[in-house]
Amino acid sequence: MDRTQRIVSARIGRVFIYALLIFTALLYLAPLYVMIVTSLKDIEEIRSGNLLLFPLKPSLYAWQKAWSSACTGSECDGLAPFFWNSLRIVVPAVAISTFIGSINGYVFSKWQFKGSNYLFGALLLGCFIPFQVILLPMAKLLAVLGLANTVTGLVLVHIIYGIAFTTLFFRNYYIGIPTELVNAAKLDGAGFIKIYKLIFLPLSKPIFVVTIIWQFTQIWNDFLFGVVYSGSGTQPITVALNNLVNTSVGGKEYNVDMAAAIIAALPTLLVYFFAGKYFIKGLTAGAVKG
Amino acid sequence: MGSISINRLSKQFGAAKVLNDIELEIQDGEFLVLVGPSGCGKSTLINLIAGLLKQSEGAICIDETDVSDVSPGDRDIAMVFQSYALYPTMNVSQNLSFGLEMKKTPKDEIKQKVEDVSSLLKIDHLLDRKPSQLSGGQRQRVAMGRALARSPKIFLFDEPLSNLDAKLRVEMRTEIKKLHQRLGTTIVYVTHDQVEAMTLADRIVILKEGEIQQIGTPFEIYNNPVSRFVADFMGSPAMNFVECVVLNNRLIVESADNKNELSVPLNDESSLSNMDTVILGIRPEMVTEPKPGSTGPFIHHFAFDVDVIEPMGADTLAIGRWNDVEVQARISPEAGMNAEKVFELQVDTSKAVLFDPYTGARVDFKPATA
């Protein structure tokens, strides 16, 4: 091939690749677009119109209804109370499971004891158990503890199953911190807690970011534990969304349903937009250089 | 005040016995160097002394107190690690004061100590920097400063100079020696570099595969090695080993054409019998160009096939073959420049040593003095 032919074929190749990428992106984003657009239309427009059409008279009616007055079963208070429920569940669950994971990771990486490898393996099983398997035993346990249908009970479940992942994250990260640092600190007279507080914790920012983002996303988006272990006043937003969509007084209000879905997904979407790059950075960060 | 007594110490990792029955008395104020090839157990031994590892058998006593159950932080020992192990999120000043803060030392005392140590090691202009902002040599000084600041009874050094470039290594070696002269604290120093061992130690302990081969002053180890392994390990360039035969009360290094024979007369007290084979060990500095002033029963001459000439500056290393045995000679730079393919060398056997060819153990022999 001569030079001009090569340039032309390179250009054609590039155009083709871009076209393919743009097409795939559009395909991927199409449902989100439809959701947003539908949530801004009124029912007449939805029923008569094309899914992809931009709203003629965009209005926030559906959003207001989804947030404060849509019916989720027998109550009609919108998603707002359940949004706060989710927050009440997610914040302590993320905080506690992350903290425990950090201590566990610290112990497994630098303070091995007899049988610690087996214990770690057993803990890791928690990452791979299909959660459906433990639903019944866990329900029994919560009943015994008097925590059935409570927010505390649901938080407890999320903490327990979160610990498997958080321990893994922290342990793998802390393995990268040279053991000689721990030895130097031991010789300097520091013990278990001081070494954690003064040496490991200051080095842990990247992995805390990773773990918190991961745990937040997992727990906020969870439906299974939410639907099984919550009672009528303690349901998270994912369960409420399901109820909202399945409750129709009169005809189905698709715009409200769409708005409700986006409201439910918004926190994790925002976390991704603002903190996503820190997630990637944290996963690939080494702990100590030099 | 800083004496260490190691009794019948052994350490096993699973099936591997890394240290076997170590007996060692370290005097207060001594600079003791543990040296040996990789895997000989020297780092394990120093970690046991520090309390970072627990021994499988035996006891370690510091100042006659058994410290086997004492935690590392309570043994009053400071250690300088090969990788320095500086606390990465703290600046130099905080690194230096960490140990003192753990011991709840009053703030003004800590401040004074940090000032003293940092000016001694010339790192006082670096106090606000973090370890990642320091060069290798600076980090090494901070690591030493951190150990010094604690004024411990015993200093442990685990190959502290290995990560430095050659020139810096030589400088820091002298600094460490000066520090020891100034402080008089017991130092246990681990290295695989026998030059460091020779230059720094009051006494050297040579380890091989978890066992002590020899303990002695650098002079003793160098001139009186107890085995072929020790003789070969210490000294650079390495000792020459030549096989020879005892014949009629003389040590003969044979040669096919009788031109390159070495014949060392033995006196009557030798323990060798006729027809014994032994290994003769002669250091390269005893194999030189013929020196006009050298005479006597220990001086012999022979011819030598030169393979390589390595000028080292102060003298020149000539590597070649003598009766098909590779021999290294230390000749003057001038002689090195004029070297021909085959030239005559002078061998001084006054400090030669003999080894059993099978066990490597030292064989006593007394060359005739007349």
B70 touches chain A (CB under 8 A): no
Residues A49 and A90 in one domain: no
Supply the pTM of this predicted model. 0.83
Are B331 and B275 contacting, i.e. CB atoms less than 8 angstroms apart? no
Kindly state the tokens that stand for B327. Answer: 């021999």
What is the arithmetic mean of pLDDT over B205-211? 94
Residues A256 and A139 in one domain: yes
Residue pLDDT, tens place only, B34-64: 999 988 999 999 999 999 999 999 999 999 8
Q: Which of residues 219-278 of A touch B (CB under 8 A)?
A: none
Contacts of A189 in chain B (CB under 8 A): 73-74, 99, 102-103
What's the rounded Cα separation, in Å, for the pair A215 and A221? 10
Which amino acid type is present at position B302?
Answer: F
Residues A225 and A274 in one domain: yes
Q: Which domain CATH number covers A224? A: 1.10.3720.10
On whether residue A66 sits in a domain, the answer given is: no
Residue A198 dihedral angles phi and psi, to the nearest 5°: -95, -20
Contacts of B86 in chain A (CB under 8 A): 184
User: B73 and A178: CB-CB below 8 Å?
Assistant: no
Whether residue B205 is predicted with pLDDT greater than 80 in this model: the reply is yes
A286 touches chain B (CB under 8 A): no
A203 touches chain B (CB under 8 A): yes
Could you list the pLDDT tens digit for every one of the 290 residues in chain A?
688 888 888 889 999 999 999 999 999 999 999 999 999 988 888 888 788 888 888 889 899 999 998 888 888 888 999 999 999 999 999 999 999 999 999 999 999 888 999 999 998 888 888 989 999 999 999 999 999 889 999 999 999 999 999 999 999 999 999 999 999 999 999 999 999 999 999 999 889 999 999 999 999 999 999 999 998 889 999 999 999 988 877 778 888 999 999 999 999 989 888 888 888 888 777 665 53
Residues A201 and A279 in one domain: yes
Distance from CA of B183 to the nearest CA of A (A): 20
Contacts of B163 in chain A (CB under 8 A): none
Alpha helices in chain A (DSSP H): 3-39, 43-48, 61-68, 80-110, 116-128, 131-145, 151-175, 179-187, 192-195, 201-203, 205-221, 224-229, 237-246, 254-284
On whether residue A106 sits in a domain, the answer given is: yes
Residues A48 and A85 in one domain: no
On whether residue A101 sits in a domain, the answer given is: yes
User: What is the percentage of chain B residues whose pLDDT exceeds 70?
Assistant: 94
What pLDDT, on a 0 to 100 scale, did the predictor assign at position B369? Answer: 60
Q: At B335, which helix (H) or strand (E)?
A: helix B333-337
DSSP result, B178-231: HHHHHH--EEEEEES-HHHHHHH-SEEEEEETTEEEEEE-HHHHHHS-SBHHHH
What pLDDT, on a 0 to 100 scale, did the predictor assign at position A290? Answer: 39
What pLDDT, on a 0 to 100 scale, did the predictor assign at position A218? Answer: 93
Kindly state the tokens that stand for B334. Answer: 């001038």
Q: Which residue of B has its CA nearest to A202?
A: B89
Are B23 and B179 contacting, i.e. CB atoms less than 8 angstroms apart? no
> In terms of residue numbers, what domain contains A55?
3-59
On whether residue A250 sits in a domain, the answer given is: yes
What's the rounded Cα separation, in Å, for the pair A279 and A210? 5
User: A194 and B131: CB-CB below 8 Å?
Assistant: no
Contacts of B131 in chain A (CB under 8 A): 290
What pLDDT, on a 0 to 100 scale, did the predictor assign at position A251? Answer: 77
What b/e sequence results for B262-278 when a residue is b if at least 16 CB atoms lie within 10 Å of its CB, and e otherwise? bebebeeebebeeebeb
Q: Which residue of A has its CA nearest to B99?
A: A188
Residues A88 and A52 in one domain: no
User: B87 and A289: CB-CB below 8 Å?
Assistant: no
Quote ipTM for the complex: 0.84
Contacts of B14 in chain A (CB under 8 A): none
On whether residue A210 sits in a domain, the answer given is: yes
Domain tally, chain A: 2
What pLDDT, on a 0 to 100 scale, did the predictor assign at position B259? Answer: 53
What's the rounded Cα separation, in Å, for the pair B43 and B187? 14
Count A/B contacts: CB-CB distance under 8 Å. 67
What pLDDT, on a 0 to 100 scale, did the predictor assign at position B255? Answer: 61
What's the rounded Cα separation, in Å, for the pair A142 and A156? 9
Residues A31 and A99 in one domain: no
A186 touches chain B (CB under 8 A): yes
Residues A42 and A127 in one domain: no
Checking B108-114 for CB contacts under 8 A at 24+ apart, the result is B113/B149, B113/B151, B114/B149
User: B85 and A188: CB-CB below 8 Å?
Assistant: no
On whether residue A201 sits in a domain, the answer given is: yes
Residues A188 and A224 in one domain: yes
Residues A223 and A253 in one domain: yes
On whether residue A125 sits in a domain, the answer given is: yes
Q: Which residue of B has its CA nearest to A188?
A: B99
Kindly state the tokens that stand for A208. Answer: 């805390």
Residues A52 and A87 in one domain: no
Whether residue B370 is predicted with pLDDT greater than 60 in this model: the reply is no
Q: What is the pLDDT confidence band of residue B275, given thresholds at 50, 70 and 90?
A: confident
Are B31 and B189 contacting, i.e. CB atoms less than 8 angstroms apart? yes
Distance from CA of B58 to the nearest CA of A (A): 22
What's the rounded Cα separation, in Å, for the pair A83 and A68? 11
Residue showing tokens 């939805």: A46
On whether residue A51 sits in a domain, the answer given is: yes
Are A39 and A45 contacting, i.e. CB atoms less than 8 angstroms apart? no
Out of A184, A202, A289, name the one closest to residue B85 (CB): A184
B181 touches chain A (CB under 8 A): no
Lowest mean pLDDT among A126-140, B48-62, B181-195, B245-259: B245-259
Whether residue B260 is predicted with pLDDT greater than 60 in this model: the reply is no
Q: Which residue of A has its CA nearest to B155?
A: A187
Q: What is the pLDDT confidence band of residue B349, given thresholds at 50, 70 and 90?
A: confident
Residues A135 and A235 in one domain: yes
Mutate to test the interface with A, among B102, B151, B163, B190 (most CBs of A within 10 A): B102
